[in-house]
Amino acid sequence: MKFEIMRHRLLDGLNDVMKAISSKVTIPILTGIKLEVTEDGLRLTGSDSDITIQSFIKAEEDGDQVIRVIEEGSIVVPARMFNEIVRKLPTSDVEIEVKQNYHTYIHSGKSEFHIIGLDPSDYPMLPEIQDDRQFTIPADLLKSIVRETVFAVSPSENRPVLTGVHWQLKNSELVCVATDSHRLARRKVSLDQLPEGEFNVVIPGKSLTELSKIIGDTSELVHIAMTSQQVLFKTRSVLLFSRLLEGNYPDTSRLIPTEYKTTVTMNGKALFQAIDRASLLAREERNNIVRLSSLESNIVEISSSSPEIGEVEEEIQSISVEGEVIKISFSAKYMMDALKALEGHDVIIHFTGPMRPFIINSINDDAILQLIVPVRTY
Amino acid sequence: MKFEIMRHRLLDGLNDVMKAISSKVTIPILTGIKLEVTEDGLRLTGSDSDITIQSFIKAEEDGDQVIRVIEEGSIVVPARMFNEIVRKLPTSDVEIEVKQNYHTYIHSGKSEFHIIGLDPSDYPMLPEIQDDRQFTIPADLLKSIVRETVFAVSPSENRPVLTGVHWQLKNSELVCVATDSHRLARRKVSLDQLPEGEFNVVIPGKSLTELSKIIGDTSELVHIAMTSQQVLFKTRSVLLFSRLLEGNYPDTSRLIPTEYKTTVTMNGKALFQAIDRASLLAREERNNIVRLSSLESNIVEISSSSPEIGEVEEEIQSISVEGEVIKISFSAKYMMDALKALEGHDVIIHFTGPMRPFIINSINDDAILQLIVPVRTY
């Protein structure tokens, strides 16, 4: 194998595939990145066995020669070392050559590195995914869906299925739900182009987080293909494979209240900031609980206190307060996460009493629903 | 105590004094910041008992009222909590009021915090420093002196005196030296305005690092006053007191070679980058050693190798190589630190053989000297 490549294009590709490289991996070959060069270009693959990311750099792009292929071939190079070497090379071009016994030479200017690679035939094969259950979502919408749900997955492996986001396609609608059993985030999307039939999968939260880092904030379509054990996200230059989580996702629809006793409409950003301030005193006690109370004249009070430290109170003029008086306590963090997902828009909060879960929607759009289970303090 | 203050001015002052606050401090009152308000303004004090930083905010600045003093007084408030509260307040003005039993109320907009302060009379008194041994250095020059020396102090408490920088004033010249016994950094400064007599102190490296964070990159004069146990750095708005280190600083002048066998003149930036690259492979073995060899035609080769990982070689065209052929090994980190202190200027390196310390100067200016003890590998 021997080729020359524009250094910044190689770095872009490495940036993507490095996101799949984990220092915790136990399979030695997966500490490496696989390079495969053909006349068409260079394919980079990185994997931690749960997620695999593949980036393809075309030999020619818009008439420019990005890669000059002298001899086709493949190699696995130590991922972190190779990435750092390429990052620090002195010139804008890199020559990579593999000689006998996987000895790999990296030239740039007057700098010459010689590192010892691994046999590329030991690198795991990628799963084959048929295209028959494929559909597309624009990249920016996909990023939003992830951002609005993934924070609510459970961080604990006690119930592994809750560490993923449930994607369910039914009746021309994609419904994405994440819950850690103390709060829930749900996003509904109507898809133009639908795959055949229904599906029902749980995608690991970590895979979705990495996905949203490698796709751009553009309207480019991302192709999504499912099998029973894998999902593939595919853009023009990058592929992300993720395993799916096994097990049945709980039926969350029953958790969501449909009748309300109090409805508060208010500015989401003002509420976020008041809770952020109140949580300064709540945090000391490590429970991070703040109180919300409806007062007269559409005023909502946010407060918290710690016996040793002090207390804080803040009044917010809300747009409207309808129904019964409410006094309720909840995790400041959960509420701030939910409001962040709603991007500071005006919000409607529906309460069904101080001990019942409450829900938060954007005033403009009920495609996003956030649910929080309160904490007993009164 | 009761006053109103412009929030951003209070934040500036807190930024400075927070640098003296340590989470490791064992004296409870030092987890707090002391606020003292008089008609003239607000004085903030933070301390970890080694370093004390004081910031003064004038009540009136350039005709603008920064502070409205309603009642003079003082209080000690929990440092981190108070700093975070002020950072997150909703409006550009803050009102701070202390009522009975050190109960402290912080108002801003519709937000009201109530925290419990501490008795300001328990706060340690600052040392009194006479002005008789005072001199001045422009802030930007002082920052340079610190930057060029402090990195070479010893991180280990085995010989506490080596954790500081030795400042010696003699014959109208200030000489600052730091060494961890493997390398040494020395900066000489001719001072216009000199204190009476000689002095000879060791200032903790940490104090100098904090000092350089709070003084600006301007030509404003910093007043420096010494006692036998303390040093005070004083700008228009900030005071930094530091204890001095006890013990005799070793005589380092004998370490510095005065006769050379090889002299290499080369571009400091090119050398830095080549060593940075070579250290990628050196690092794996945790010794971080690179080799420098003089070849023919004024070429210098930088190289390193790790048996398991690979090797790297790079040739640099130097400006001149005079004297004997040299092959020498040293810590990549020490060399990069030294070259950073010389800011990438062209450098002259004087060698006296592969097992003797070598010195690095800027080609323009011999006020800065960097010395490195090599490592035996040949």
Rounded Cα–Cα distance for residues B171 and B181 (Å): 26
Report the pLDDT value the prediction gives residue B38, as an integer from 0 to 100.
97
Cβ B311–A88 below 8 Å, yes or no?
Answer: no
Query: What are the residues facing B38 on neighbouring strands?
Result: B41
Q: What is the mean pLDDT of residues B36-42?
A: 96
Cβ B311–A78 below 8 Å, yes or no?
Answer: no
Q: Is any Cβ of chain B less than 8 angstroms from the Cβ of A312?
A: yes
Report the pLDDT value the prediction gives residue A311, as an integer from 0 to 100.
92
Report the pLDDT value the prediction gives residue B151, as an integer from 0 to 100.
97
Cβ A111–B314 below 8 Å, yes or no?
Answer: yes
Report the pLDDT value the prediction gives residue B195, as an integer from 0 to 100.
66
pLDDT at B378 over 60: no
Spans in chain A with pLDDT lower than 50? none
Q: Which residue reads 């630190």 in tokens?
A: B337
Residue B376 in tokens: 């035996």
- pLDDT, tens digit (0-9, with 9 covering 90-100), for B323-356: 999 999 999 999 999 999 998 789 999 999 999 9
Q: Which residue reads 């903790």 in tokens?
A: B204
Distances (CA, A) of A6 to A15, A39, A59, A96, B348: 15, 16, 10, 11, 35
Report the sign of the C-alpha dihedral through residues A265, A269, A275, A277, in that order. Answer: negative
User: Higher pLDDT residue, B172 or A37?
Assistant: A37
- Within 10 Å of residue A181's Cβ, how many Cβ atoms? 14
**Strand bridging mode B2-6 / B93-98:** antiparallel
CA nearest to A134, candidates A187, A220, A199, A53: A199
Which residues from A are below 8 Å from B315, CB to CB? Answer: 110
Domains and CATH numbers, chain B: 2-122 (3.10.150.10), 131-253 (3.10.150.10), 256-372 (3.70.10.10)
Chain A nearest-CA distance from B1, in A, is 18
Q: Does the global pTM surpass 0.90? A: no
Distances (CA, A) of B101 to A187, B76, B98, B104: 51, 12, 8, 9
Q: What is the DSSP string of A45-87?
A: EEE-SSEEEEEEEESEETTEE-EEEEE-EEEEEEHHHHHHHHH
| 3-class secondary-structure state, position A171 | coil
- pLDDT, tens digit (0-9, with 9 covering 90-100), for A327-366: 999 999 999 999 999 987 899 999 999 999 999 999 888 8
pLDDT at B285 over 60: no
Report the pLDDT value the prediction gives residue A194, as an integer from 0 to 100.
66
- pLDDT, tens digit (0-9, with 9 covering 90-100), for A153-207: 999 989 999 999 999 988 788 999 999 999 999 999 988 766 667 789 999 999 9
Q: What is the DSSP letter of B118?
A: B
- Chain centroid to CA B231: 14
Report the sign of the C-alpha dihedral through residues A20, A198, A153, A143, in that order. Answer: positive
Q: What is the CA radius of gyration of chain B?
A: 25
Report the pLDDT value the prediction gives residue A365, as an integer from 0 to 100.
82
CA nearest to A187, candidates A358, A350, A332, A338: A338
Cβ B111–A310 below 8 Å, yes or no?
Answer: no
Answer for the pair A124, A28: CB distance below 8 angstroms, yes or no: no
Query: Residue A111: which of B115, B277, B310 has the nearest Cβ?
Result: B277
Answer for the pair A11, A87: CB distance below 8 angstroms, yes or no: yes
* Residue in B with minimal Cα distance to A78: B309
- What does chain B come to in residues? 378
Give the burial class of A353: count Cβ atoms within 10 A of its Cβ; 0-12 exposed, 13-18 middle, 19 or more buried.
middle
